[in-house]
Amino acid sequence: MLEIYVDADACPVKEEVLKVAYRHDLTVHLVSNQWLRLEVGENINKVVVSDGFDAADDWIVEHMGAGDICVTGDIPLASRCLDKGAVVIGATGRLFTLDNIGMALAMRELKSQLRDMGEDRGFNASFTKRDRSTFLSALEGAVQKLMRHGISLQAQNGQT
């Protein structure tokens, strides 16, 4: 069954994820390095991992499966999730795919090198209401598509 995994420490769209999850009765895993002060209902699993490097990323990759959704802005995590067959959505609604992840990884590396040389100060654009709306639409669309696909696969396999 479809589940949503959220790289939750710095995720600005946790409320939107919960809204979609409640609407479709989906399980969500909010994975972080610290306890989240967030009221949640049924099917919401708050997972606190160690402070180890990439501990949250490792937990997500270990537990997710093909056809699940990962919400993250972490490009290396996005790549790992795509390798497992997951759908990956950034907080601005950007869909990461096997076709665009290579460029995203290369840009991440280039920006890191520019910051190291003092050429880029690493300022990120502000998160806007439009970003939030775009994310909500992208997540809702992905959930509906995966649910339709899952139902058609069950029908082909004679399951109900």
| pLDDT of amino acid 39 | 80
Tokens 């997710």, located at residue? 64
Where do runs of H (alpha helix) occur along the chain?
14-24, 55-63, 75-83, 101-116, 129-156
In the block, residue with structure tokens 């460029």:
103
pLDDT at 77: 94
Helix axes 75-83, 101-116, angle to 10 degrees: 160
**Model pTM score:** 0.82
Query: Which tens digit of pLDDT belongs to each residue from 105-137?
Result: 666 566 666 666 676 665 666 889 999 999 999
Q: Would you say 54 and 81 are in contact if contact means Cβ atoms under 8 Å apart? A: no
Does position 156 have pLDDT exceeding 50, yes or no? no
Which bin fits 95, alpha (ψ -120 to 50), beta or left (φ > 0)? beta
Give domain status of residue 132, yes or no. Answer: yes
Residues in the chain: 160
Q: Is residue 150 part of a domain?
A: yes
DSSP 8-state assignment for residue 37: -
2: left (phi over 0), alpha (psi -120 to 50) or beta: beta
> Does 122 fall in a domain?
no
User: Which has the higher per-residue pLDDT, 153 or 20?
Assistant: 20
Q: Give the lowest-confidence range in 7-16, 38-47, 89-98, 122-131.
A: 122-131
Q: Does 31 map to a domain?
A: yes
Residue 119 within any structural domain of the chain: no
Domain presence at residue 54: yes
Q: Collapse the DSSP code of 69 into the 3-class scheme (helix H, G, I; strand E, B; otherwise coil) and give the result.
A: strand
Span 58-91, pLDDT tens digits: 999 999 999 999 999 889 999 999 999 999 999 9
| DSSP conformational letter for 127 | P
Is the residue at 145 inside a domain?
A: yes
| Separation CA 27–CA 57 (nearest Å) | 18
> How many independent structural domains does the chain possess?
1
CATH value at residue 29: 3.40.50.720
Domain that holds residue 16: 3-97+128-156
Distance CA 59, CA 80 (A): 12
Asked if 90 and 72 touch (Cβ cutoff 8 Å), the reply is: yes
What is the C-alpha end-to-end distance of the chain, expressed in Å? Answer: 13
Residue 73 lies in a domain: yes
